[in-house]
Amino acid sequence: MASARSQKAVMTRMYDRLGKAYGKRRRVGTGTMLEQLVLTILACDNKEPQALKALSILQREYVDWNEVRISPEEALCEDLSKADVNSGAPTMLKNTLEGLLLEVSSLKPEVLDQCSSQEISSLLKRIDLPKSLSASLLLARSPLPSDSSVPLDSGIARVMVRAGLSKTARAKNDIKRRIRSIIPEDEIHNFHRVVGRLSREHCLNDPECARCPIKADCKHHRAHPVENSAPAPSRKPPARVRQAAVPRRSRHPSPKR
């Protein structure tokens, strides 16, 4: 393992490169934890302005989060396309709201506000939300929750090991402590977001090192220069399915005067 000083330098450069590739984003407060959960899902693979605009559209066009849950996916796709949010967000949003309703029997805006970070972490695990999104939601809270309440996504652990910043992905508590000791507190939320995105796009089980933005500092890439030298084929984003408008209930019209 490298020294603590060299690890800090590597992690700082890695975070800087990922920030240039994916954008650095501040923690955004939205009122309730349920709204923050929806924003976290919308911002998963989208930019912050897109996610905030999409959240505003949902709050304006739907009576409550239960109506979002029961609305046809095609209608959600149509509404979220106005904010240029990718087509995978409606499916994840509907599944999350459905799982949340089964667990807590309510989709009232304040349903998560009185829960501790440990309770929310356990709840999100039961509804099968990806750990990277669970961590992003919890790290958006202030003050920053404890290490034990924030899950560590296996993809983030994989990146840390391949970059030479941890001996094994199983040492999750050690990885969390290392992140907190090097990354400033107000940047930890964004660090998890960009490293999680890297793990989904490039640092897969079968890594695509040729297009990786941090390959210059990656121990794995240096150890396998030949097999990682050929450029990987570019991936085309999934085509957005645009459907005709689907009739659905929206806000009740104001009584005529």
Query: What is the pLDDT averaged over residues 180-208?
Result: 89
- Quick one: which H or E segment has residue 131? helix 131-139
Mark whether 123 and 177 lie in a shared domain.
Answer: no
Mark whether 167 and 119 lie in a shared domain.
Answer: no
Handedness of CA 148, 140, 21, 178 (dihedral sign): negative
pLDDT band at 243 (very low <50, low <70, confident <90, very high): very low
Mark whether 168 and 201 lie in a shared domain.
Answer: yes
Percentage above 90 pLDDT, the chain: 39
Mark whether 71 and 2 lie in a shared domain.
Answer: no
Q: Determine, yes or no, domain membership for 237.
A: no
Query: What is the pLDDT averaged over residues 42-49?
Result: 80
Q: Determine, yes or no, domain membership for 257.
A: no
pLDDT band at 74 (very low <50, low <70, confident <90, very high): very high
| Least trusted range by pLDDT, from 26-30, 192-196, 210-214, 245-249 | 245-249
Per-residue pLDDT tens digits for 126-172: 998 888 888 888 888 878 888 888 888 899 999 999 999 988 888 88
Q: Determine, yes or no, domain membership for 253.
A: no
pLDDT band at 4 (very low <50, low <70, confident <90, very high): confident
Q: Looking at residue 234, what is its pLDDT?
A: 53
Q: Looking at residue 149, what is its pLDDT?
A: 86
Q: Determine, yes or no, domain membership for 207.
A: yes
Q: Looking at residue 257, what is its pLDDT?
A: 46
* φ, ψ dihedrals at 68, nearest 5°: -60, -40
Return the CATH number at 39: 1.10.340
Q: Determine, yes or no, domain membership for 7.
A: yes
Mark whether 16 and 68 lie in a shared domain.
Answer: no
Percentage above 70 pLDDT, the chain: 84
Return the CATH number at 150: 1.10.1670.10
Expressed as residue numbers, the domain containing 97 is 28-129
Mark whether 13 and 77 lie in a shared domain.
Answer: no
Angle at 239 between CA 47 and CA 127, to 5 degrees: 60
For residues 228 and 201, the model is more confident at 201
Per-residue pLDDT tens digits for 211-230: 899 999 899 988 887 555 55
Mark whether 157 and 183 lie in a shared domain.
Answer: yes
Mark whether 208 and 178 lie in a shared domain.
Answer: yes
Mark whether 171 and 161 lie in a shared domain.
Answer: yes
Q: Dig out the tokens for 18 from the structure.
A: 């990922």
Mark whether 65 and 2 lie in a shared domain.
Answer: no
Which 3 state secondary structure label does DSSP give 201? helix
Mark whether 33 and 19 lie in a shared domain.
Answer: no
Per-residue pLDDT tens digits for 7-17: 899 999 999 99
d(CA 242, CA 108): 30
- Number of domains, the chain: 2
Q: Determine, yes or no, domain membership for 108.
A: yes
Q: Determine, yes or no, domain membership for 159.
A: yes
Is 30's pLDDT higher than 80?
no
d(CA 93, CA 97): 6
Q: Looking at residue 139, what is its pLDDT?
A: 87
d(CA 199, CA 153): 9
pTM of structure: 0.73
Q: Determine, yes or no, domain membership for 92.
A: yes
Mark whether 167 and 177 lie in a shared domain.
Answer: yes
Per-residue pLDDT tens digits for 82-122: 998 877 889 999 999 999 999 999 999 999 998 999 999 99
Other C-beta atoms closer than 10 Å to the C-beta of 230 total: 9
